[in-house]
Amino acid sequence: MASGGGRSHRQDFVSLAALISREMKNEKMEKPTVRYGQAAQSRKGEDYFMVRTDCQRIPGNPSSTFSVFGIFDGHNGNAAAIYTREHLLSHVLSAVPRGLGREEWLHALKRALVAGFVKTDKEFQNRGETSGTTATFVIVDAWTVTVASVGDSRCILDTQGGAISTLTVDHRLEENVEERERVTASGGEVGRLSMVGGPEVGPLRCWPGGLCLSRSIGDMDVGEFIVPVPYVKQVKLSKAGGRLIIASDGVWDALSSEVAAKSCRGLPAELAAREVVKEAIRTTGLRDDTTCIVVDIIPPKISEEPLPPKKQNIQNILRSLLFRKRSHDSANKLAKKLSAVGIVEELFEEGSAMLAERLGNDDSAVQTTSGLFTCAVCQVDLAPSEGISVHAGSIFSTSSKPWQGPFLCADCRNKKDAMEGKRPSGVQVA
Ligand SMILES: [Zn+2]
> Is residue 109 in a domain?
yes
> Is residue 183 in a domain?
yes
Long-range CB contacts (< 8 A, 24+ apart) of 396-401?
A: 396/356, 396/357, 400/361
- Give pLDDT tens digits for 22-43: 555 555 558 999 999 999 999 9
Ligand 1 centroid – CA 222 distance (Å): 22
pLDDT at 173: 96
Q: 266 by DSSP, 3-state: which?
A: coil
> Is residue 37 in a domain?
yes
Q: Could you tell me which of 108, 110, 101, 111 has the C-alpha nearest to residue 28?
A: 101
Q: How far apart are CA 356 and CA 419, in angstroms?
A: 11
Whether the Cβ atoms of residue 81 and residue 48 lie closer than 8 Å to each other: yes
Ligand 1 centroid – CA 327 distance (Å): 44
Q: How far apart are CA 267 and CA 16, in angstroms?
A: 43
Q: How far apart are CA 406 and CA 315, in angstroms?
A: 47
Is the domain of 267 the same as that of 368?
no
CA distances from 335 to 329, 347, 357 (A): 10, 10, 27
- Give pLDDT tens digits for 289-333: 999 999 999 999 754 444 444 444 555 545 544 444 444 455 555
Is the domain of 248 the same as that of 386?
no
Is the domain of 292 the same as that of 365?
no
The full DSSP string for 166-224 is ESS---BTTT-HHHHHHHHHTT-EEEEEE-TTS-EEEEEEEETTTBSBSB-EE-TTS-T
Whether the Cβ atoms of residue 157 and residue 243 lie closer than 8 Å to each other: yes
Torsion of CA 60, 237, 139, 42, to 10 degrees: 130
> Is residue 333 in a domain?
no
- Give pLDDT tens digits for 86-124: 999 999 999 999 889 999 999 999 999 999 999 999 999
- Count: domains in the chain: 2
Whether the Cβ atoms of residue 133 and residue 171 lie closer than 8 Å to each other: no
- Give pLDDT tens digits for 204-245: 999 888 999 999 999 998 988 999 999 999 999 998 999 999
Is the domain of 230 the same as that of 376?
no
Q: How many CB atoms lie within 10 A of CB 382?
A: 18
Whether the Cβ atoms of residue 165 and residue 156 lie closer than 8 Å to each other: yes
Is the domain of 132 the same as that of 236?
yes
Is the domain of 369 the same as that of 294?
no
> Is residue 16 in a domain?
no
pLDDT at 362: 58
pLDDT at 42: 96
- Give pLDDT tens digits for 119-167: 999 999 999 889 999 999 999 999 999 999 999 999 999 997 788 999 9
pLDDT at 302: 53
Least confident of 264-273, 362-371, 386-395: 362-371
CA distances from 304 to 31, 300, 301, 307, 340 (A): 18, 12, 8, 9, 19
> Is residue 85 in a domain?
yes
Task: Please report, for the domain that includes residue 226, its CATH number.
Answer: 3.60.40.10
Is the domain of 169 the same as that of 252?
yes
Ligand 1 centroid – CA 388 distance (Å): 10
Ligand 1 centroid – CA 408 distance (Å): 5
Q: How far apart are CA 155 and CA 293, in angstroms?
A: 9
pLDDT at 395: 46
Last residue of a domain, which of 301, 322, 346?
301
- Give pLDDT tens digits for 67-89: 999 999 999 999 999 999 999 99
pLDDT at 306: 44
Tell me which residues have their CB within 5 A of the ion that is ligand 1.
375, 377-378, 409, 412
Beta strands in 213-262 (DSSP E): 217-218, 231-236, 242-247
Considering the entire predicted model, what is its pTM? 0.82
Is the domain of 112 the same as that of 175?
yes
Ligand 1 centroid – CA 303 distance (Å): 51
Ligand 1 centroid – CA 236 distance (Å): 32
422 confidence band (pLDDT: 50, 70, 90)? confident
Is the domain of 59 the same as that of 201?
yes
| Pairing outcome for strands 154-159 and 164-166 | antiparallel
Is the domain of 285 the same as that of 403?
no
398 confidence band (pLDDT: 50, 70, 90)? very low
Q: Could you tell me which of 297, 298, 406 has the C-alpha nearest to residue 360?
A: 406
Please, which residues bridge with residue 246 across strands?
155, 293
Comparing 237 with 367, the larger pLDDT belongs to 237
Ligand 1 centroid – CA 352 distance (Å): 20
Q: What is the DSSP letter of 393?
A: T
Is the domain of 201 the same as that of 124?
yes
- Give pLDDT tens digits for 181-211: 999 998 899 999 887 778 888 999 998 889 9
Last residue of a domain, which of 301, 316, 345?
301
Whether the Cβ atoms of residue 134 and residue 126 lie closer than 8 Å to each other: no
Please, which residues bridge with residue 234 across strands?
146, 348
Ligand 1 centroid – CA 355 distance (Å): 12
- At residue 271, what are phi and psi to the nearest 5 degrees? -70, -35
> Is residue 53 in a domain?
yes
Distance from the first to the final alpha carbon of the chain:
73
Q: Could you tell me which of 98, 109, 92 has the C-alpha nearest to residue 144?
A: 109
> Is residue 22 in a domain?
no
CA geometry: angle 137, 143, 147, nearest 5 deg: 20
Is the domain of 125 the same as that of 215?
yes
Last residue of a domain, which of 264, 286, 301?
301
Q: Residue 127's domain spans which residues? A: 31-301
